[in-house]
Amino acid sequence: MKTAPLYGAVQDDLSRVEAVFDEIRAANLGALSQMLGMVLGGGKLMRPGLALLCGRFGTYDLDRLVSLAASVELLHTATLVHDDVIDRADTRRGRPTVNSAFENSTTVMLGDFLFAHAANRAVETGSLRVVELFSRTLMIMARGEIRQDLAAYDSRQTIRDYLARIGGKTASLFATACEGAGEISKQPEEQVSALREYGYNFGMAFQVVDDILDFTGDEEEMGKPVGSDLMQGTLTLPSFLLMERSPNGNPVEAYFKAPSPEKLQAAVKMVRESGAVEESSRMAKDFSARAIDALSALPDIADRETLAELARYILDRQS
């Protein structure tokens, strides 16, 4: 789906965010420019879109909001670059990763380069609160990634561990995009808090759906194999729910103890047939509903309905 139906009044303004990425690419030459071309631009620009939309409930200072939106997307992209190194991934969304074409050490430095640009754009907003949000969010995201890496192939985790992990890795950045926009646009604190609540629950729903698609999605559309999370030793909500229902001898634990393609296929099949996917979908809908409920504190303008539609849209996405 193209972004036009999704982002309403700010659709045209998103081109300003993409122009920031063009500027970064143009300012660098050779291999660095090639690497930047592999990771910058494209995609739905979900986080920048939310940042711009949330800024419309106050003073819409586009220059500062674009800096925020670019900062958030650059931070997100940097984490993906590092994730691909950690996961030894050759593709992402069907496209070659940087570490598939360059040395891992070089790819890590690219991630660091993007972190630096993200921080610089946060400073450009002229808001100390946004800079504090940026630094705190980076720490939260890093903690979530560390927690995930240390728990790889560990079946002793709980759903509470999972929710804390995705709250840090995914939802925190959505929350920062929305809260930062409220701050930049000089909205009342009640609205800023509501935007943060919306962003956090939006991010939780987004990640739960992503984890469902890892079991049910189309490999070609997603650009990655079904069961990728289990292949990396990562437990997600559908797996946790299966393990709760079948605590003894379930195929997820069997796969973690001695990974093989056959055991992975058995685990994916049982997750699909156990009702865990449907229960996970209900939890995603609950997070989406919480996000929409948070919008009641905002002025009743068209942009509020656009945000609500986005919270509903992510439940039906296929990639």
User: Which pLDDT value is given to residue 1?
Assistant: 37
In whole angstroms, give the CA distance from residue 174 to residue 21: 20
Q: Give domain 4-313's CATH superfamily.
A: Farnesyl Diphosphate Synthase (1.10.600.10)
In the block, tokens 């800096």 appear at 67
CA distances from 55 to 85, 196, 197 (A): 34, 12, 15
**pTM score:** 0.94
Please, which pLDDT band fits residue 94 given cuts at 50, 70 and 90? low
CA distances from 171 to 68, 269, 304, 305 (A): 17, 28, 20, 21
Q: Is the pLDDT of residue 170 over 50?
A: yes
Q: Across residues 99-109, what is the average pLDDT? A: 88
Contact between residue 234 and residue 148 where contact means Cβ atoms under 8 Å apart: yes
Domains in the chain: boundaries: 4-313
Residues 6 or more apart in contact with residue 92 via CB below 8 angstroms: 80, 84, 223, 224
Q: Is the pLDDT of residue 249 over 80?
A: no
